[in-house]
Amino acid sequence: MERWHNKVAVVTGASSGIGAGVVKDLVGAGIQVVGLARRKERVEDIKANLPEKRQSLLTAIECDVTNLDSVNKAFDEIITKFGGVDILVNNAGTSKLGQLVSQDPQTIQMVLQTNVMGVVYCTQRAFKSMKDRNMNGHVIIINSICGHKVLGGPAGKLPITNIYSPSKYAITAITEIYRQEFSGLGTKIKITSISPGAVDTELISDNLKKTLGERILSPHDIGSAILYTLSTPPHVQIHEMIIKPVGENF
């Protein structure tokens, strides 16, 4: 991990859940972290609760990944302050329960804008920064097991995840597109998709958490996976990592 010391990692959706855990783990590894979130104040709270000697390693910037102007403003600020982006963790994501045949199209569009276009917007800016500086950086996307298998509904009931799985299937394909493009454009920038099973975040209801019991991951489990992918030597690329808690039946 020494080669990443004093490098700059950008984490989207950094205010809670997986993003908050990843921010703490990257800061703990000595990496300069920029946490992007609509709720910037939550990232500031994370910073305030870090050990005093680590607080300078975290910067909070307001950003709505569904809005291209917001993304460009955030990345302009990052590049002005730090000179560039070395690691990007595309973590921001959302889901809205309901049926695809009847859900409000604006809600469906919002999920797609967050889960798919947010990745595209941020990756374009990060990749350009890496390539322009000849930096062999790393782009990581938080995918889902739902990007590999469409989950049905509870026994005897309709599915409720609607566009979420299709949005994550898109991320699985986008990861491969990026691998081919990064290589074809003459860079050694790495791309990794990390697909967790159930993670203890705000996206999972209390009822489901109760049902899962110990069969659930923590955000720091995902942070550990990210640190592992970053620790691999330059010639090794972890293209896809699927992480499930022991006993998960999905």
CATH of the domain at 48: 3.40.50.720
Residue 58 counted as domain residue: yes
CA 132/CA 144 separation, integer angstroms: 31
pLDDT digits (tens, 9 = 90+) for 71-82: 999 999 999 999
pLDDT digits (tens, 9 = 90+) for 159-185: 888 999 999 999 999 999 999 999 999
Residue 192 counted as domain residue: yes
Neighbours of 83 (CB within 10 A): 11
Neighbours of 240 (CB within 10 A): 17
Coil, strand or helix: which one is 194? strand
User: In degrees rounded to 5, what are phi and psi of residue 241?
Assistant: -130, 125
Query: Where are the alpha helices (H) located in the chain, listed in sequence order?
Result: 17-28, 40-48, 68-82, 105-112, 118-132, 164-184, 206-212, 219-231
Q: Calculate what percentage of the chain has a pLDDT beyond 90.
A: 82
pLDDT score, position 209:
65
User: In degrees rounded to 5, what are phi and psi of residue 159?
Assistant: -60, 150
Residue 69 counted as domain residue: yes
Residue 78 counted as domain residue: yes
pLDDT score, position 160:
87
pLDDT score, position 200:
78
State the pLDDT confidence band at 208, using cuts at 50, 70 and 90. Answer: low
Mean per-residue pLDDT of the chain: 93
pLDDT score, position 180:
98
Instruction: Please state the domain count of the chain.
Output: 1
12 and 39 in contact (C-beta within 8 Å)? Answer: no
- For residue 122, the enclosing domain spans 2-243
Residue 250 counted as domain residue: no
Residue 248 counted as domain residue: no
57 and 84 in contact (C-beta within 8 Å)? Answer: no
Which residues participate in catalysis according to the annotation?
A: 164
Residue 77 counted as domain residue: yes
Residue 249 counted as domain residue: no
